[in-house]
Amino acid sequence: MNLIGNGVDILLKKLASFVLAIALVPMATFSAAAAPAPAQTAVKVEYNKKAIVFPDQKPLIRDSRTLVPIRPIAETLGFKVDWNEKTRTVTIDKGNDNIRLVVTQKIAKKNGQTINLDVPAQIVNQRTVVPVRFIAEALSYKVDWDPATQTVLIADQAVANPNGTEEKPQEQTKPTEEGKKQDTVSLIDKESVVGQFFTFSPMGIYKVAGKVDPKATVIVDLEGTSYSVDVKSDGTFEFYQTTHDGIRNFTVKAELDGKQDTFEGELQSAN
């Protein structure tokens, strides 16, 4: 009987050890899975080797592009920035340069010219963030990336002079007022031009109407896509287009005998 009892005790001890080992396996697995991931290095931005401070929303990387809050960059680089809540448009002005970006749209306009973006301007934590490389280069700054420190390096453009030192490039001479008048041609009655949009998500109907020189050829551009428009004998025109929702800016271009006139506007909601 003692032999049998001892055998049972040994068997029970082995069984208990086996059950305990099985129970510990998921605990070990859970502990390994719950281990926190290593923190990513914060993205930094410097201008002429001096760090730019971002008080709340920090720079971030999306789709391999660095986005930064626009206000601290504007204050550091000395350009003017405006925000239109209704059209969700960021407007940047510095010297003769004007840049416009619409939140969530992968296009921008510099001095009226449409430029495609890899990533659009976005709203993050109630802050407007923009692709820093595009903004800096569009305003003629030099931009580099230091992967070791995760730092965007912005610097003034410089050119070498014969003495071997560096100096900032001279600003281009501004045209005189007389020259401007000679180049200006009025083919569009800008007071008459209106743009509206009707939203039927996910689609939108867009209307642009106005008056131009009756003999002019007219094109309406909806943020990168151009459409030819018929002009009536009295010079009035009406343009309608159905496409995806989200377009908020338009351009009217008129041409006659090699002369051009352009009007840029913002589409207003008609809903």
Q: Are residues 54 and 89 in the same domain?
A: yes
The whole-angstrom separation of Cα 68 and Cα 56 is 11
Last residue of a domain, one of 101, 129, 161: 161
Last residue of a domain, one of 161, 192, 217: 161
Residue-wise pLDDT tens for the chain (271 aa)? Answer: 454 445 545 544 554 555 445 454 444 343 434 444 444 568 899 999 999 999 888 998 888 889 999 888 888 888 898 888 888 888 999 888 999 988 888 888 999 888 888 888 888 888 889 999 988 888 889 999 998 999 999 998 754 344 444 434 444 434 444 444 434 468 999 889 998 888 876 778 889 999 999 999 999 988 778 888 999 999 999 999 887 777 888 888 898 888 888 888 888 887 7
Domain count across the chain: 2
Last residue of a domain, one of 161, 194, 213: 161
Print the domain residue range for 195. Answer: 184-269
Residue 203's pLDDT is 79
Q: Are residues 94 and 198 in the same domain?
A: no
Residue 157's pLDDT is 78
Kindly state whether residue 146 falls inside one of the protein's structural domains: yes
Q: What is the pTM for the complete model shown?
A: 0.46
